[in-house]
Structure 1
């Protein structure tokens, strides 16, 4: 017998304000047709004035706890994946911890940009497997609208705000690929590609927050190759094939990246949970937002094999294979 981390609840939150491509076209030199053709994005949610990343994360966390049927006091670990924290310090996770009523355990942030949720999920899974936590919450939350250059039509149309959360609980399992829970996680990074996707500010460099900068074509090329590689790695590690996957819950960066990754893996996009058209790229929040939507509408069912994958600035990328 071994210990597996089982998903026992999930929750999400999207800010009330929805901004369509038509509205974006009134703000910057672009059009609905241009955005849809290149990205598949039709709308995005933007945080209200004064609404912070911890505000979004707290609502998602409360909804995940309710779905799991547990109290915050039962959590041993809370990890927030975010590239847009409320403050340089303390960790946004500690603000969420206080707000939901979690008074014990540990809370900290993880920064791996769009791969952040997969990184945080891997950390929580390893805490549980090591016996250092029995119940953990992993949150992806972003207010990317705060770091966008609203005069740069190549980037400002791509991103949105939101938060998603998943609750994990330790459970005994047989140690086979038929176990319920996280079967394996796989993380990678390559810092040589820093300048292809980054924010041009920070406490020790410019003493400012800065704005997001991206070389879109190069990011696209690396994303398709890296995601296909890490998905293959996850399947090989568990003696499984792409045909065994019931659902892929990918990072929602760009519809063309999703289609390209699916083709490279020989997967139908009908087996992908796609929210990029309505949510845009919400960075670390995109995987748990998409997961929660598919779980709540009944697409994700107990016993199914689900693959989570993401790539972000750094470059960072990773995958997690989960049986619900």
Structure 2
């Protein structure tokens, strides 16, 4: 049987470490454009308790999103062992394009995927590069699209990348800015025979709610009135995002598992978008509640504590780290069934059930 199988992975973890203590000197404002009536040290401490984030990574000043996307992609190609000239498609998931340090413009022409193809030196004219904008679930949606293209007979090999430099679009007066980080993750997917373990993508699900939910995450003015000069920053209605995610993501995960014909007891790992530790725990617990069960220990690998929320890059980065046994007490074996799930701006949700090769 032919299935979409991940044959190589790679990630880029930026070298600049931004600790929570670095934010103590910041002056935080609220949505009402008034200073928060709490010491910054107390705000930062409460932030860590809620999100689980202790530090995050930022890219160097001379590095852009397309650069780190290409670095992660190169590692995935090397890991797979294929010739890059045989790649049929390059899909790059991002949200803000290349934003140079100190600039306010997002640069998306040519597409980041085209830039990655250029940086990788791929000359094959039939290797088609394109971008996908789908909020934080973008990389996972790229994986779903690759699977669909394979089944349609349009491609056999696809490079799927998630990359973001959120440090370039942060409002330093907004405490939510402490959540976000930079990073890139990539995988090489091939449509091939599954072998004895019947590996590959087993099922997928996607959901989108764009009525009152559409602007839970968007671009907006600085919370500090004197800082508003036409520049826009990433903004998030945190409570609404939390409530939406905990309500709907478990349903999408369950639907994906059922479509895949997999019993809950067969599930070995859940790779969930690293958005917020408390939210991710609530989602996984609610998911198992749907089966009348408690979540097993070690079912959910985490990287948010030291990498923060790098949007589209969180899941492919985490999967690469676990796959290569770089996270303590987390490992994968041939035949393991895992579930990927994500939620983000749109609001969009998706899930993929996958059996490891």
Shorter-chain TM-score bucket reads: over 0.9
TM-score (norm: length of structure 2): 0.84
1:292 aligns with 2:292: no
Q: Distance in 2 between matches of 1:102 and 1:188?
A: 34
Greater C-alpha radius of gyration: 2
Name the SS for the 1:156 alignment partner. helix
The equivalent position to 1:97 in structure 2, one of 104, 109, 117, is 117
Change in Cα spacing, 1:269 to 1:189, as seen in structure 2 (3 Å) is farther
Structure 1 gaps, min length 5: 202-207
Structure 2 gaps, min length 5: 28-39, 99-106, 222-229, 289-294
1:219 is matched with 241
1:63 aligns with 2:75: yes
Change in Cα spacing, 1:300 to 1:292, as seen in structure 2 (3 Å) is same
Q: Distance in 1 between matches of 2:351 and 2:167?
A: 26
The equivalent position to 2:167 in structure 1, one of 138, 141, 145, is 145
2:348 is matched with 316
Tell me the CA shift for residue 269 of structure 1. Answer: 5.2
1:48 is matched with 60
Please give the root-mean-square deviation of Cα atoms over the aligned residues, in Å: 1.8
TM-score (norm: length of structure 1): 0.93
1:283 is matched with 311
1:158 is matched with 179
Q: Distance in 1 between matches of 2:41 and 2:64?
A: 28
Is contact 1:262–1:268 with CA below 8 Å preserved after alignment? no
2:292 is matched with none
2:87 is matched with 75
Tell me the CA shift for residue 59 of structure 1. Answer: 0.7
1:132 aligns with 2:131: no
2:291 is matched with none
1:7 is matched with 6
Q: Distance in 2 between matches of 1:45 and 1:108?
A: 26
Is contact 1:307–1:320 with CA below 8 Å preserved after alignment? yes
Name the SS for the 1:264 alignment partner. helix
1:205 is matched with none
Query: Per-residue displacement from partner, 1:127-160 (whole Å, max 9, x unpaired)?
Result: 111121111110000001111111111x111010
Is contact 1:173–1:180 with CA below 8 Å preserved after alignment? yes
Tell me the CA shift for residue 30 of structure 1. Answer: 4.4
Name the SS for the 2:122 alignment partner. coil
Tell me the CA shift for residue 173 of structure 1. Answer: 4.3
Name the SS for the 2:23 alignment partner. helix
Change in Cα spacing, 1:242 to 1:37, as seen in structure 2 (3 Å) is same
The equivalent position to 1:36 in structure 2, one of 27, 30, 48, is 48
Change in Cα spacing, 1:168 to 1:33, as seen in structure 2 (3 Å) is same
1:306 aligns with 2:318: no
